[in-house]
Amino acid sequence: MRDGITITLGEADRRRLDALVADRNTPQKHVWRARIVLMSADGVGTHAIMAQTGTTKTTVCRWQARFMAEGVEGLLRDRTRPPGKALVAQDKASAVVALTLKPPPHEATQRTTRAMAKVAGLAVSTVRKIWKTHGPAPHRWRQFKLSNDPAFAERLHDVVGLYVSPPAHALVLGIDETS
């Protein structure tokens, strides 16, 4: 646990921090950082600083330490953070899209995110993001399946012919043979 911290401000630093707090165009994050340092230099305790700035003890200690190490410039600059998770490589995303556009395997009627994730070796959420980014929506595709009836082509020609040029006073009835 750390003991009380003392910050001694030079005249130039105090004027600069006071100017930051007084300027209405200063970003608020810089204003409350400057106020933390100014109150610390005035001998205000950590709990009082927390109450007046609406921050936590960790935040107060962080900006006091940053000022002591880097001065006023340290308060005006945010530290860089490491990037988040790496994005999926473009070639991997292209492979997922290409695989999505191919007909589904075996008896499946459409591709699912779970099946695609398993094949591609990715997470389901990653496949979902790739589909959202690149636009394929396999669950919305409709496929026409041809009948394996040997007389299908002849019957199709007869039915379509009736719709295209129906005879006078004709009535067309359709019967579905499936149960």
Lowest-confidence range among 13-22, 113-122, 123-132, 163-172? Answer: 163-172
State the average pLDDT over residues 59-64: 90
3-class DSSP assignment, residue 137? coil
**What is the value of pTM for the model shown?**
0.47
Mean pLDDT (the chain) is 82
**Alpha-carbon distances, residue 166 vs 3, 76, 171 (angstroms):** 98, 82, 9
Q: Which of 9, 119, 20, 125 is nearest to 67 (CA)?
A: 9
Give 25's DSSP letter: T
C-alpha–C-alpha distance, residues 59 and 45, integer Å: 14
Domain-wise residue ranges, the chain: 11-76, 82-169
pLDDT given at position 146: 62
174 pLDDT above the threshold of 90: no
- Residues of the chain with pLDDT > 90: what percent? 14
pLDDT given at position 102: 80
Q: What is the pLDDT of residues 92-108, one digit of tens each?
A: 888 888 888 787 777 77
Alpha helix (H) ranges present in the chain? 11-22, 28-41, 46-53, 57-70, 72-76, 90-101, 113-120, 124-134, 152-164
**Between the ranges 1-15, 21-35, 87-101, 164-178, where is the mean pLDDT highest?**
21-35
pLDDT given at position 1: 40
Contact present, 6 and 45 (Cβ < 8 Å): no
Contact present, 64 and 37 (Cβ < 8 Å): yes
Q: What is the pLDDT of residues 124-167, one digit of tens each?
A: 988 888 888 887 776 665 555 667 788 878 888 887 887 788 88
